[in-house]
Amino acid sequence: MNKLAGIYTHIPFCIKKCPYCDFYSITDQSLKKPFINALIREIDLVSRPSLLFDSIYFGGGTPSVFKAEDISHIIEKMYGLFHILTNSEITIEVNPGTVTLEKLKEYRSIGINRINIGVQSFQDATLDFLGRIHSTNDANKIIKFAQKTGFDNIGIDLICGIPGQTKKTWLFDLRKAVEFEPEHISCYMLTYEKGTPLDRERQQGKFKPVADSLSAELFKTTIEYLTAHGYIQYEISNFAKDTHRKSRHNLKYWSFTPYLGFGPSAHSFIDPKRYWNCRNVKKYINNIKEGRLSIEKKEILSKEQRMMEMVYLGLRKTDGININTIDENLGINFRHMFAEKLKQLEEDGYILRIQPKNHCTLSRKGMLFLDSIAPMLMIDD
Ligand code: SF4
């Protein structure tokens, strides 16, 4: 198992809240300065873990509301206190409505080597529905700027399963993305998170969500189109141009690898400990000002929880779960414990079992039913 750890930094500011989003962020920009000061102080307060890191990720929220100078202070602080490899992947999520060619050049000059652009769609009507602040033109321009600036590791995020979308309109988005030849494409299915304005509108019948059959068709279309255009699917929603362009950061989440999280709502995981910060910028700033971390909750994962994470997250990857690793980590005999279920799932075409390297992998059909299949391969709490 890859033990090189990752660092996640949550930047909790957005220009405007998108109605489908339940990531923690606020639109009041007046706290940006005290937030950056608190973030730098938080990095100081964390005990120096004996971990070796090979990725830093700025997510959010909208990290690109910050100037390169602010991000640079954070990176320098991290390099000063943690063991971070010199060839680390350093990613910033960028909203096309918040950057310019100049800003991208500055990001590159401070050592950021991967840009993840939240395009979501190449159609203005869809962007309107999603409540995005940017237009198709902005997205096209920013992708070109990022390439012109010399970034050779660019990710494009798209959303599929949007009401009104058809196979034809989704193929249009995929085609536009592929035309730019980005190194990475993520295609996330629109979900209706409880408490979001979009979910309320759905409940009020203001629009009709796409049918399950269409979601399945869009998913199949995505895999067929992107693999036909040279992309490797390495996780349910993630595709890379070649193996070394897989997102190191994302892979850590699905591989039970340690990561530290900074900023409000950020999670940290060092097996078997998991803890997370409060979802409130003001409280976060105040706690840090008073010299204490702003951790909301800590938990020690039980054997059952560890297994759940290993199976549920591992099955998201096209490499699947490594049965030897699970056996060694949990002191079980996975193959023996789930012999019946594995046989049935394989016969029904949901898993592609147990490959030469002793991996258990979901089939394309199985990926559509991850939420039902994963619990069948877990021990009860
Ligand atoms: S810009 Fe991103 S983080 Fe901010 S509200 Fe929209 S989807 Fe959420």
CA distance 368 to 354: 19
Q: 194: burial class by Cβ within 10 Å (0-12, 13-18, 19+)?
A: exposed
Instruction: Output the residue whose Cα is nearest ligand 1's atom 6.
Output: 18
Output the CA torsion 27→31→36→42 (10° steps): -100
DSSP secondary structure code for residue 207 in this structure: S
Distance CA 373, CA 312 (A): 9
State in Å: Cα 61 to ligand 1 middle: 5
Note the pTM of the prediction, 2 decimals. 0.95
Any ligand 1 atom below 6 A from CB of 61:
yes
| Residue 214 in contact with ligand 1 by CB distance below 6 A | no
SS3 40: helix
- pLDDT tens, position by position, for the chain (381 residues)? 448 999 999 999 999 999 999 999 999 999 999 999 999 999 999 977 789 999 999 999 999 999 999 999 999 999 999 999 999 999 999 999 999 999 999 999 999 999 999 999 999 999 999 999 999 999 999 999 999 999 999 999 999 999 999 999 999 999 999 999 999 999 999 999 999 999 999 999 999 999 999 999 999 999 999 999 999 999 999 999 999 999 999 999 998 899 999 999 999 999 999 999 999 999 999 999 999 999 999 999 999 999 999 999 999 999 999 999 999 999 999 989 999 999 999 999 999 866 666 889 999 999 999 999 999 998 776
Q: Give the Cα separation of 153 and 155 in Å (integer).
A: 7
The domain ranges of the chain are 5-254, 315-377
The C-alpha atoms of residue 266 and residue 274 are separated, in whole angstroms, by: 11
Q: Which atom of ligand 1 is nearest to the CA of 21?
A: 8
Ligand 1 site, residue 14, Cβ cutoff 6 A: yes
Fold for 315-377, please state it.
Arc Repressor Mutant, subunit A (1.10.10)
CA-closest candidate to residue 350, choices 379, 375, 323, 322: 375
Domain at 5-254, CATH from 3.40.50.150, 3.30.450.20, 3.20.20.70, 3.30.930.10: 3.20.20.70
- CA–CA dist 21, 298 (Å, integer): 25
CA 24, CA 227: separation in Å to the nearest integer?
Answer: 33
Distance CA 46, CA 81 (A): 9
Decide: 346 and 353 in contact? Cβ < 8 Å: yes
